[in-house]
């Protein structure tokens, strides 16, 4: 295979040859003869002359090869106390029957189906069943607010909605059906049918003539064989988190998606047939789509479907139990999960109760992985901790340490180097390419590799305006950072999180990195607040370890001194307050922009994806202790 450099340069110099070879990693009905169709830029298409079925590649071909008795899915729910396993053979039957059920309800190839489900095996069956039929699925995070669900219904115009009676959160049950009913009532578009999976904890009332119970709907459904679709036909639409108003539906095609994800498993994650792979995420987010469902199953792995939290279900040792019981080889989760574990159990005492020797790699993504968290995880687990970077829009990593090809040196704070097909530049506001170590906007040269979004659902003009206009010839990531002399990328903040203090551009990520080094600081966030003299000032919000015994005022003073020592007085860092928790989305992203609006006294709306709305009240209280928002004249 050669070194990473060999592979990357090979993809850059001969993209056609590289990706057609990668396309041999999946089974085609009609194998593609061309890799990239660039006849209509910037709307690039991959493998346009190929046909396939994604569900067949994820399920049937493993059964056909004799792997029907291998476990495909391990379901583990510490919240409900339930656990089960499903083999590839059983998954084939279940997806075939689900596709037959959809067809009996009038759903055809190209129709949309919204899936509004908790983390249960039936959710994966629904996704794969849609793919089997050639229907386009759109998963909406279970329990999402009715108003947000309604906008997605109106945008996707689904012929059917698949849901469940409820979801489980620590200490509470979330009734889905009333939210679904309210969303349908508010939406202009009305689905023909809803199929409801009744969970034991709470039964839902069904609407006569529209709603069907899951098992009853399947009773007489035929088992449908995989339907052939074009490589360029959409597999799914995933609405990006945090959208308000008109939602932005990222489109994922069938062919490029299958090729890129199948390539990523052995090359990036060093994972292959029979290995147990666990992405501790949710199917409502892109990580769940790519690395709970599709990539592990395309690779013939056993995937873990976890209905729980890193702490509190029941304790900070649950991740270690899952690894130990199910012999997990690779764990992929968000840094926030490990920060939560570290805060609850800083000495990793729970780890002593479990054998985690099966674990070979820990991958982190979804937000900046601060060096302190990486060092802690490396020390406790004694495995390489690999930070990598990608987005909903790309569907698979843009930057990573490709341990399946060659484990490169790990540089703390960096998600390492670009993956094949991604040519990444750091750009100034005028579009010029920045020198090494200079902060700027991170952009990817067009065309991007397979699996990246070809457009936004029903909105080609919005796709171009949102992603391709600021820097012509580039995809604008919305992230800011720099590259070092070795080509390693450093993601420092979202572009709108870079703050300007008296003409000095400062990265909130850099300031957070320093704050996290304080031994009493478990988590932190830095936001920019308006200042008449300097334009903006950095303001830090810190969460302390429960074991911290120092007075809060002392910790805040030490934190300020630490930043001034490490970053310099140019940072003008003088504002710190403590809070119990950081406000985050359900996928773990800190709501910095919302906190900045609160601090500046600007109008703001409650993010639909927030994990716990009460936390923002705590933030507002903490900001008031620092005099924010400032009184208006």
- Asked if 300 and 438 sit in the same domain, the reply is yes
In the predicted structure, residue 118 carries a pLDDT above the cut 70: yes
Residue 380 in any domain: the answer is: no
Domain contains 313: no
Pair 382, 358: CB distance under 8 Å: no
Per-residue confidence band for 369, with pLDDT thresholds at 50, 70 and 90: confident
Question: Which domain-ending residue is among 422, 450, 481?
Answer: 481
Query: Residue range 384-405: average pLDDT?
Result: 97
Residue 349 inside a domain? The answer is: no
* 631 lies in some domain: no
Q: Where are the beta strands (DSSP E) in 545-610?
A: 575-578
What's residue 505's pLDDT?
67
Average pLDDT value for residue range 575-603: 88
Percent of the chain with pLDDT over 70: 98
What per-residue confidence (pLDDT) applies to 169?
86
Closest CA to 93 of 114, 72, 108: 72
pLDDT of residue 461: 95
User: Are 41 and 189 part of one and the same domain?
Assistant: yes
Q: Is the same domain home to 531 and 428?
A: no
- Written as six digits, the tokens of 96 are 């075939």
- pLDDT interval class at 610 (50, 70, 90): confident
Q: Is 200's pLDDT higher than 80?
A: yes
pLDDT at residue number 496 = 66
Task: Please give the pLDDT value at position 630.
Answer: 85
Confidence of residue 96 (pLDDT cuts 50, 70, 90): very high
Same domain, 172 and 223: yes
Same domain for 97 and 246, yes or no, is: yes
**Tokens 């029979």 -> residue:** 274
Q: What is the pLDDT of residue 77?
A: 97
- What is the DSSP secondary-structure string of 385-402? EEE-B--TTTSS-SEE--
Task: Examine the pLDDT at 504 and tell me if it is beyond 90.
Answer: no
Reported as a single tens digit per residue, the pLDDT across 619-628 is 999 999 999 9
Q: pLDDT higher for 266 or 591? A: 266
- Using an 8 Å Cβ cutoff, are 377 and 339 in contact? no
> Quick one: average pLDDT of 470-479?
95
Is residue 457 included in any domain, yes or no?
A: yes
> Distance (Å, rounded) from C-alpha 24 to C-alpha 513?
42
Calpha distance 408→402 (Å, rounded): 7
> Per residue in 446-469, pLDDT tens?
999 999 999 999 999 999 999 999
- Residue 578 predicted with pLDDT over 60: yes
Domain-located, residue 124: yes
The residues, ordered by sequence, that sit 6+ positions from 406 with a Cβ below 8 Å of its Cβ are: 3, 4
Q: What SS3 state is found at 432?
A: coil
Q: Which of 167-171, 259-263, 284-288, 582-586: highest mean pLDDT?
A: 259-263
Using 50, 70 and 90 to split pLDDT, how confident is the model at 566?
A: confident
**Considering only CA atoms, which of 402, 416, 312 is closest in space to residue 374?**
416
Please state, rounded to an integer, the average pLDDT across all residues of the chain.
Answer: 93
pLDDT confidence band for 570 (50 / 70 / 90): confident
Is residue 159 assigned to a domain? Answer: yes
Indicate if 476 and 507 belong to the same structural domain: no
Give the pLDDT score at 502. 67
Which pLDDT value is given to residue 370?
83
What CA–CA distance (Å, rounded) separates 504 from 372?
26
What average pLDDT does range 276-287 have in this prediction? Answer: 94
| DSSP letter assigned to residue 588 | S
Domain extent for 468: 4-308+388-481
98 and 34 in a single domain? The answer is: yes
Q: Is the pLDDT of residue 503 over 70?
A: no
pLDDT given for residue 246 in this prediction: 66
Q: Could you read off the pLDDT of 290-330 as tens digits, one per residue?
A: 999 999 999 999 999 999 999 999 999 999 999 999 999 99
Among the ranges given (26-40, 82-96, 163-177), the one the predictor scored with the smallest mean pLDDT: 163-177
390: cis peptide before it, omega within 30°?
Answer: no
| Same domain flag for 54 and 95 | yes
Orientation of helix 4-13 relative to helix 15-22, angle to 10°: 110
Are residues 205 and 156 part of one domain?
A: yes
615 and 521 fall within a common domain: yes
Average pLDDT for residues 483-490, to the nearest whole number?
97
Please name which of 230, 241, 507 lies closest in space to residue 366, comparing C-alpha atoms.
Answer: 241
Model confidence at 487: pLDDT above 50: yes
Give how many domains the chain has, as a whole number. Answer: 2
Contact in structure between 515 and 540 (CB atoms under 8 Å): yes
Domain boundary among 481, 516, 548: 481
pLDDT of residue 510: 80
Q: How far is CA 387 from CA 310, 384, 401, 476, 485, in A?
A: 18, 10, 8, 21, 19
Residue 182 domain flag: yes
Look up tokens 């095996």; give the residue: 121
Separation between Cα atoms, residue 452 and residue 261, nearest integer Å: 11
Place of tokens 């067009």: 446
HSE-CB at 556 with a 13 A cutoff on CA atoms is 16
Give pLDDT, residue 414: 95
**pLDDT at residue 211 greater than cutoff 70:** yes
Q: Read off the pLDDT of each residue in 541-557 and give the average, rounded to a whole number.
A: 93
Query: Of 578, 545, 546, 548, which is closest to residue 560 (Cα–Cα)?
Result: 578
Same domain, 157 and 20: yes
pTM (2 d.p.): 0.88
Q: How many CB atoms lie within 10 A of CB 619?
A: 22
Percent of the residues in the chain that have a pLDDT greater than 90, as a whole number? 79
| Same domain, residue pair 123 and 223 | yes
- Which CATH number does the domain housing residue 132 bear? 3.40.50.12780
Q: Is the pLDDT of residue 357 over 90?
A: yes
User: Which positions ≥6 away from 461 have C-beta within 8 Å?
Assistant: none
User: Residues for the chain: how many in total?
Assistant: 633
pLDDT bin (cut points 50, 70, 90) of residue 507 is confident
What pLDDT score was predicted for residue 242? Answer: 43
Q: What is the rounded CA–CA span in Å between residue 3 and residue 16?
A: 20
Residue where the block lists tokens 């339907």: 227
Banded model confidence at residue 569, pLDDT cuts 50, 70, 90: confident
Its sign, for the CA torsion 544, 335, 142, 617, is positive
Order of strands across the sheet that contains 474-483: 424-427, 440-445, 474-483, 489-494
**Per-residue DSSP letters for 246-272?**
S--EEEEESHHHHHHHHHHHHHTS---
Which pLDDT band, with edges at 50, 70 and 90, does 633 fall under?
very low
Three-state secondary structure readout of 336-358: HHHHHHHHHCCCCHHHHHCCCCC
Calculate the alpha carbon distances from 308 to 221, 328, 339, 622 in Å: 32, 16, 16, 30
pLDDT digits (tens, 9 = 90+) for 133-183: 999 999 998 877 888 899 999 999 999 999 999 999 888 899 999 999 999
- At 1, is the pLDDT very low, low, confident or very high (cuts 50, 70, 90)? low
Residue 597 sits in a domain whose CATH number is 3.30.300.30
């Amino acid at each position: 295979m050669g070194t990473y450099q060999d592979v990357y340069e090979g993809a850059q110099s001969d993209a056609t040859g590289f990706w057609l070879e990668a396309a041999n990693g999946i089974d085609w009905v009609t194998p593609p003869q061309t890799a990239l169709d660039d006849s209509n830029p910037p709307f690039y298409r991959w493998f346009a002359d190929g046909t396939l079925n994604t569900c067949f590649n994820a399920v049937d071909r493993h059964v056909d090869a004799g792997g029907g008795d291998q476990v495909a899915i391990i379901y583990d729910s510490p919240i409900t106390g339930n656990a089960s396993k499903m083999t590839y053979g059983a998954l084939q039957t279940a997806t075939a029957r689900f596709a037959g059920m959809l067809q009996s309800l009038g759903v055809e190839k190209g129709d949309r189906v919204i899936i509004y489900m908790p983390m249960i095996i039936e959710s994966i069956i629904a996704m794969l069943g849609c793919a089997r039929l050639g229907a386009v699925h759109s998963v909406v995070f279970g329990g999402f607010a009715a108003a947000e669900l309604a906008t997605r219904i109106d945008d996707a115009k689904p012929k059917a909605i698949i849901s469940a009676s409820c979801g489980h959160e620590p200490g509470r049950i979330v009734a889905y059906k009333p939210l679904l009913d309210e969303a349908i009532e508010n939406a202009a578009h009305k689905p023909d049918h809803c199929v409801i999976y009744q969970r034991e904890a709470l039964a839902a009332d069904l609407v006569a003539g529209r709603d069907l119970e899951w098992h009853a709907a399947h009773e007489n459904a035929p088992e449908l064989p995989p339907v052939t679709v074009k490589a360029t036909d959409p597999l799914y639409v995933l609405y990006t988190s945090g959208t308000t108003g008109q939602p932005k539906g990222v489109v994922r095609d069938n062919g490029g998606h299958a090729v890129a994800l199948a390539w990523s498993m052995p090359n990036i994650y060093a994972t292959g047939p029979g290995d147990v792979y666990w992405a501790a995420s949710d199917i409502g987010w892109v990580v769940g789509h790519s690395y709970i469902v599709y990539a592990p199953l395309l690779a013939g792995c056993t995937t873990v479907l976890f209905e729980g939290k890193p702490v509190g279900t029941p304790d900070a040792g649950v991740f270690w139990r899952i690894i130990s019981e199910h012999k997990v080889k690779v764990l992929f989760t968000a840094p926030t999960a490990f920060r939560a574990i570290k805060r609850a159990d800083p000495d990793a005492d729970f780890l002593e109760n479990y054998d985690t020797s099966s674990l070979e790699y820990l991958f982190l993504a979804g937000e900046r992985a601060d060096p302190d968290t990486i060092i802690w995880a490396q020390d406790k687990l004694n495995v390489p901790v690999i930070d990598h970077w990608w987005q909903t829009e790309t569907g698979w990593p843009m930057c990573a340490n490709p341990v399946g090809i060659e484990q490169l040196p790990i540089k703390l704070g960096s998600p390492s180097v670009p993956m094949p097909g991604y040519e990444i530049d750091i750009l100034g506001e005028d579009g010029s390419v920045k020198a090494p170590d200079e902060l700027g906007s991170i952009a990817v040269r067009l065309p991007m590799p397979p699996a990246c979004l070809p457009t936004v659902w029903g909105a080609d003009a919005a796709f171009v305006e949102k992603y391709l206009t600021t820097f012509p010839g580039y995809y604008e990531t919305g992230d800011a950072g720099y590259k070092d002399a070795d080509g390693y990328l450093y993601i420092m903040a979202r572009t709108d999180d870079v703050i300007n203090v008296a003409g000095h551009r400062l990265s909130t990520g850099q300031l957070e990195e320093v704050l996290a080094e304080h031994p009493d600081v478990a988590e932190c966030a830095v936001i920019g607040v308006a200042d008449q003299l300097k334009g903006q000032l950095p303001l830090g919000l810190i969460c302390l370890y429960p074991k911290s015994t120092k007075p809060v005022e002392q910790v805040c003073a030490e934190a300020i001194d630490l930043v001034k020592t490490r970053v310099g007085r140019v940072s003008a860092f003088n504002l710190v307050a403590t809070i119990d928790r950081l406000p985050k989305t359900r996928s773990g992203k800190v709501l910095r922009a919302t906190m900045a609006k609160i601090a500046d006294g600007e109008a703001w709306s409650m993010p639909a994806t927030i994990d716990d709305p009460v936390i923002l009240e705590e933030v507002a209280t903490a900001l008031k202790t620092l005099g924010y928002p400032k009184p208006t004249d």
